[in-house]
């Protein structure tokens, strides 16, 4: 079965270069050589001419089973899938084994896993196709030769059955290992929650002291200060209170890490405005122009975490701005039950070879190592977005800038 390609771009769509480099080794291990390429290409014309008929028969087979028919409720989708299935099989017989071939196969596998198509169903699709090919090729044989082809067909069925059962054992063992790992993660997170409680107290105490000192300064010397100085002190006090509130929200978010995540209606326009307010001093200092291009909808999720995501992305865009006339643009595209909010800048950009690793913890670009930071911001942003059942990815070009995308679930409003 060939699933519909992912309708939205992701940063994980392409295989890592190391995966592509393994292709020659895979071909060598399977003893696939030029002779195999020539045989496959010689079969292409004959088999591809009947490919449409096979796809129709194959989808009739899929409709007989509830576990596959449930993916095929939309006639327009089925038409696209049939076309994609036929193109997939034709590309296999073309035997053009290169980087594009690897990338397409990884996309297919990722799409199948995303929509919940099991390996059993995936292997069943190849089983059906091999049966079709053997029957086509054995049609020209007579007597013992045809009987031999039918024996090979029976053997192929047994091989696929054996593969499916073996894979189940592999997956069962992997599941057990995953459960053990999750137990360790749970223990580590319990310690992390305790640490977060202690740290939040240590952070809030000096903030409260700062706010009190601001109040005392205004009470004692407000009449002797210029009006602008009083405004600055009041602004510092307001920011201290806001930071204290933010710490409370983040602590609550951390403490509920293993609880069911809230699906509150979050006004992204409001939380982005708050994030912008936090970076406004740097915007003014670096003379960066910030614009919001599109309407920002309400989404479902945890308000504190989503705000921290956008604050992190905005602060990065400001921090790494290297142009005389810096620009940051916030945009949004809405699709059905989802929206994609983008934050684009005209900064230094990210080299293509680093794009796959920008969300790795402690990973910093060589050009940014002199800039203060922990290398954890984007890692935390990715973690928090995925906790909202969302996705985050980036597109970038060195010297031109970067554009980060955040996909979130929209809050559906009643008309």
DSSP 8-class letter at 368: G
- Cα gap 276→289, rounded to integer Å: 12
Give domain 17-140's CATH superfamily: Globins (1.10.490.10)
Per-residue pLDDT tens over the stretch 33-79: 888 888 888 888 888 888 899 999 999 988 988 888 888 888 898 99
Cα–Cα distance, 135 to 129 (Å, whole number) = 10
CA–CA dist 159, 150 (Å, integer): 14
Interhelix angle 143-221/227-255, rounded to 10 degrees, is: 140
**288-292 and 326-335 as β-strands: parallel, antiparallel, unpaired?**
parallel
Q: Residue 163 pLDDT > 80, yes or no?
A: no
Supply the pTM of this predicted model. Answer: 0.44
CA geometry: angle at 292 spanning 291 and 298, to 5°? 160
Q: Residue ranges per domain, the chain?
A: 17-140, 264-409
CATH topology assigned to domain 264-409: Heat Shock Protein 90 (3.30.565)
pLDDT for res 159: 65
Render pLDDT for 101-122 as a digit per residue (tens, 0 to 9). Answer: 888 888 888 787 777 777 778 7
DSSP string, 24-56: HHHHHHTT--HHHHHHHHHHHHHHHTTHHHHHH
Query: Can you tell me the distance from the alpha carbon of 58 to that of 65, in angstroms, rounded to the nearest whole number?
Result: 12
339-386 pLDDT tens trace: 999 999 998 888 888 887 888 876 666 555 555 555 677 888 888 898
Question: Is the Cβ–Cβ distance between 253 and 302 less than 8 Å?
Answer: yes
Q: What is the pLDDT of residues 217-252, one digit of tens each?
A: 888 888 888 888 888 888 888 878 777 766 765 665
Compute the distance between CA of residue 227 and CA of residue 90 in angstroms, rounded to an integer: 76
């Amino acid at each position: 079965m060939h699933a519909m390609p992912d309708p939205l771009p992701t940063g994980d769509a392409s295989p890592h270069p190391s995966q592509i480099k393994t292709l020659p080794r895979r071909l060598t291990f399977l003893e696939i050589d030029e002779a195999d390429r020539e045989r496959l290409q010689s079969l292409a014309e004959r088999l591809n001419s009947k490919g449409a008929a096979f796809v129709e028969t194959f989808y009739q087979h899929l409709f007989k089973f509830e576990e596959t028919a449930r993916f095929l409720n939309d006639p327009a989708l089925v038409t696209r899938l049939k076309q994609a299935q036929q193109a997939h099989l034709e590309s296999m017989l073309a035997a053009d084994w290169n980087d594009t071939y690897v990338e397409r196969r990884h996309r297919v596998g990722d799409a199948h896993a995303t929509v919940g198509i099991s390996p059993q169903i995936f292997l069943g699709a190849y089983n059906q196709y091999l049966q079709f090919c053997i029957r086509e090729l054995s049609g020209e044989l007579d007597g013992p030769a045809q009987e031999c082809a039918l024996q090979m067909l029976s053997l192929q069925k047994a091989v696929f059955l054996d593969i499916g059962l073996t894979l189940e054992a592999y997956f069962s063992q992997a599941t057990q290992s995953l459960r053990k790992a999750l137990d360790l993660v749970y223990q580590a997170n319990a310690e992390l929650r305790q640490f977060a409680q202690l740290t939040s107290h240590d952070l809030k105490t000096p903030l409260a002291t700062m706010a009190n000192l601001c109040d005392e300064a205004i009470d004692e010397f407000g009449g002797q200060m210029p009006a602008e100085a009083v405004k600055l002190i009041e602004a510092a006090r307001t920011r201290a209170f806001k930071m204290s509130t933010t710490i409370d929200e983040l602590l609550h978010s951390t403490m509920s890490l293993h609880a069911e995540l809230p699906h509150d209606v979050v006004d992204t326009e409001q939380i982005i405005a708050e994030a912008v307010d936090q970076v406004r001093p740097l915007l003014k200092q670096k003379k960066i122009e910030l614009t919001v291009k599109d309407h920002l909808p309400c989404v479902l999720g945890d308000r504190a975490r989503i705000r921290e995501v956008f604050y992190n992305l905005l602060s990065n865009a400001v921090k790494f701005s290297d142009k005389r006339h810096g620009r940051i643009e916030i945009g949004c595209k809405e699709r059905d039950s989802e929206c994609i909010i983008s934050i684009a800048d005209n900064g230094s950009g990210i080299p293509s070879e680093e794009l796959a690793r920008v969300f790795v913890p402690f990973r910093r670009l060589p050009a940014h190592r002199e800039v203060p930071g922990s290398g954890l911001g984007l890692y935390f942003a990715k973690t928090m977005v995925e906790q909202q059942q969302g996705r985050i990815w980036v597109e970038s070009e060195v010297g031109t800038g970067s554009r980060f995308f955040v996909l979130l679930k929209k809050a559906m409003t009643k008309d």
